[in-house]
Amino acid sequence: LPFVECLDICSLYRRFIDQTPFIMPPPEPATLKSFGFSGFFLTALLSSLSYFNVDTYRLTTRFNALQSLFTLNQTEIDRFMASYALFDGDWSNDNGKSEAQIVDYYHVLNHLCALGNVEKMYIPPFMDGSVNLAANQELFERKMMEDIGLTLDGNNDDKNVLELGCGRGRISAHTARETGAHVFGMNIDPSQIANAKSYAEHTGLGNRTDFRVQSFNDLPFPFPDNYFDASYQVQAFSYALDKEALFKEIYRVLKPGAKFSYLDWVLLDAFEPGNKEHEKAIRHLTPLLGAVDTVHYKEVEDAMKKAGFKILLSEEASRGEKGIQGPLIQTERETFAWVGTFSKYFLPKRFTMMLERMDEGVQTFIDVDEMRLGTTSYQIVLEKPGAQCDA
């Protein structure tokens, strides 16, 4: 377009930004130091699309993530790179590791994940091959809500729900929106909690969510006995230092009859301890998964039983004949390949190298999934024995 016409269009976009209420959270303001005119133009374009009721959430999220990565300072980058020491050895028995490294890791990783479709930072169980990864996440989350005794009619405003390891709070927000329950989210990373609060306010869920910075390893939780009607965690508990103590604390804060859903990375029966090929594959995969502790699902069940829980369900949550996540993993791999091609023009070289490293880990993920050595979609549903929760 001629330069004058471009100025006219940008002026129009500027009015959209200044006057239009956003249907989805707007991009964070781009500065001259980050994306300059192109950033302004994209911000304006997203704003105008939102004005016409076009769902720009995914584009907006990617833009914000790209900008956040671009503006990281060298100290933040160095701490992130150093945090990979988390994945050397056994987290629960290695005193050289610290929760500060977890914060450094997720402070950056949450933005890397948001470049693709894994802003919630988990590959979901394979629920429906006809829809994308984000839709499969929502399908599983709805199932999980029903598994822990919530109804999907928005009429659970008398229920308190606890999410442990809530990340950016997107699952908490989804749970609050679908069920009407009040959801409390805990996470160790202040930047993710700030993002969760901002998102909840932008989407009208601020009065039904409560996010706080806290590690689930800091026991006891700041809640009274028998307080929550339901609880869940999604792929966060590999960071649990003492699983039995953690499950006992969850047991304490749940009401009698309340349920808890666990979805996480575990080893399956096909994994052979001492098999060098199996062990090498798992070691190669754990940095991609952010898994610092890898245990067999039966070990998790034992810790749950010792805490006093009754196991209602223990299974691979992925549907289909093989129960594998492979199709979703491959689709996300293709998304990140596209994102990586685009991002190399904006991000420091370290991050483009990291995206390539992530791609190598994805192939291992697919291999481990097909061999059924492990899965990130193993679900266990628990119940605290006692009277049923009030309807």
Q: What is the C-alpha to C-alpha distance for residues 87 and 282, in angstroms, rounded to an integer? A: 11
3-state secondary structure of 28: coil
Asked if 295 and 268 count as a contact pair (C-beta separation under 8 A), the reply is no
**What are the pLDDT digits (tens) for 159-169?**
999 999 999 99
CA distances (Å), origin 142, targets 127, 266, 356, 391: 11, 22, 33, 19
The pLDDT value given to residue 187: 96
The full DSSP string for 142-208 is: HHHHHHTT--TTS--TT-EEEEES-TTSHHHHHHHHHH--EEEEEES-HHHHHHHHHHHHHTT-GGG
Q: How far is CA 46 from CA 21, 34, 248, 345, in A?
A: 12, 17, 47, 21
Cis peptide before 2 (omega within 30 of 0): no
Q: Where in the chain is the domain with CATH 3.40.50.150?
A: 99-383
DSSP 8-state symbol, 296? B
Architecture of the 99-383 domain: 3-Layer(aba) Sandwich (3.40)
Mean pLDDT of 285-310: 93
Percent of the chain with pLDDT over 90: 50
Q: What is the pLDDT of residues 44-65, one digit of tens each?
A: 554 554 444 545 666 777 777 7
Alpha helices (H) along the chain:
3-19, 36-51, 57-70, 74-82, 99-114, 133-147, 170-179, 190-202, 243-253, 276-289, 297-307, 326-343, 349-371
Other beta carbons less than 10 A from residue 106's beta carbon? 24
Contact 125, 140 (CB under 8 A): yes
Give the per-residue pLDDT at 54.
Answer: 46
Residue 132 has pLDDT above 50, yes or no: yes
Q: Which of 143, 122, 140 is nearest to 365 (CA)?
A: 122
Binned at pLDDT 50, 70 and 90, residue 73 comes out as confident
User: Is residue 175 a contact partner of residue 287, using CB atoms and an 8 Å limit?
Assistant: no
pLDDT at 344: 65
Pairwise CA distance, residues 288 & 87, whole Å = 10
Phi and psi, residue 157, nearest 5°: -70, -10
**Residue 121 · residue 167 · CB < 8 Å:** yes
Are the CB atoms for 325 and 126 separated by under 8 Å? Answer: yes
Work out the pLDDT band at 24, boundaries 50, 70, 90. Answer: very low
Question: Which range scores top for mean pLDDT: 19-28, 36-45, 321-330?
Answer: 321-330
Each residue's pLDDT tens digit, 109-124: 777 777 777 778 888 9
For the chain, the average pLDDT equals: 81
20 vs 354, residue with greater confidence: 354
Over residues 356-367, mean pLDDT: 77
- What pTM was computed for the model? 0.80
Q: How far apart are CA 247 and CA 269, in angstroms?
A: 23
Least confident of 73-87, 159-173, 280-294: 73-87
Q: How confident is the model at residue 388 (pLDDT cuts 50, 70, 90)?
A: low
